[in-house]
Amino acid sequence: MNIDPEQLERLRFLGRVVQRERQHLETTDQRVFSEPFTPARAGALADNVDEAERVEAFVSRFGRLQDTLGDKLLPVYLEALGERLGAAIDNLDRAEKLGLIPSSDEWLAMRKLRNQMVHEYIEAATTLADALQAGHEFVPTLSAVVDNILADMRARGWAAA
C-alpha cells in the first residue's frame, strides 16, 4: 500500500510521541503505585505536596497518552490503512477488529475513568483512590496498544529507518 509521504511522516512523529508518553506514564506509574493507592493516601494529598504532584502527573500522563493514541494516532493510522474514518466509537470498533486495541468498550471505560480522575478527586478520597487504582491497572493496556501499533507499522515498513 502506498502512503502519502506527509502522512507517513505524521505517523512516524506520532509513533515517537506515544513512545515517549508511554515511558513517562510508566515511570510515574511506578512512583505512584509502589504500594496500593488507598483512600488514606488520597485523603492525605492536601498535606503531601510531593505525592499530590506525582498523582497529578499520573492523571495527566494517563490522559495524554490515551488522547494521543485515540484522538490523534489512531485516526491517522486508520486513514493510512485506507479505512473510512467515522465517529470516535466507529474508529475504536475498527481498531478493535484490527487487533490494535483489546476492546472499544474497555477504551471507553478508560476514557470515563480519566474524566473521573480529573474531576472528582478533590472532594472524594475513596473515589480518587479507586479511580487511580483502576487507572494503574489500565497502564499495561495502554502500553500494549502502543506496542501493537508500532509493531504493525514495522510490519508494513512504515517505521522510521
pLDDT single digits (tens) 78-137 = 999 999 999 999 999 999 999 999 999 999 999 998 888 876 556 778 888 999 999 999
Domain regions of the chain by residue span:
5-155
> What is the grid cell recorded at 9?
511522516
The answer to whether 94 touches 83, Cβ cutoff 8 Å, is yes
The highest-level CATH class for domain 5-155 is mainly alpha
DSSP assigned state of 159: S
Q: Transcribe 19-77 into DSSP letters.
A: HHHHHHHHHHHHHHTSS---HHHHHTGGG-HHHHHHHHHHHHHHHHHHHIIIIIIHHHH
**Which pLDDT value is given to residue 97?**
95
Alpha-carbon distance of 76 to 6, in angstroms, equals 11
Confidence of residue 2 (pLDDT cuts 50, 70, 90): confident
